């Protein structure tokens, strides 16, 4: 999720929570997100979006 848009990340977290995502990782994610609120998801998504994508080093 690093480097992805925050709206994408929130949508994915919400879909895991609601059961709309039924992929192979959904059963692993369900307990992680089941108690999360939207107010929890938004800052988490913003933080993840601020990280560089895999393979890209952060400039200092």
Does the pTM surpass 0.85? The reply is no
CA–CA separation, 25 and 10 (whole Å): 16
- Which tokens go with 14? 């919400």
The sign of the dihedral angle between the CA atoms of 14, 18, 33, 57 is negative
Express each pLDDT in 3-59 by its tens digit: 889 999 999 999 999 999 888 888 899 999 999 999 999 999 999 999 998 766 656
């Amino acid at each position: 999720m690093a480097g992805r848009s925050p709206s994408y990340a929130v949508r994915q977290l919400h879909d895991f929570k609601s059961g709309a995502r039924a992929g192979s990782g959904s059963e692993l994610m369900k307990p992680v997100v089941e108690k999360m609120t939207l107010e929890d998801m938004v800052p988490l998504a913003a933080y993840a979006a601020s990280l560089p994508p895999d393979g890209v080093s952060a400039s200092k």
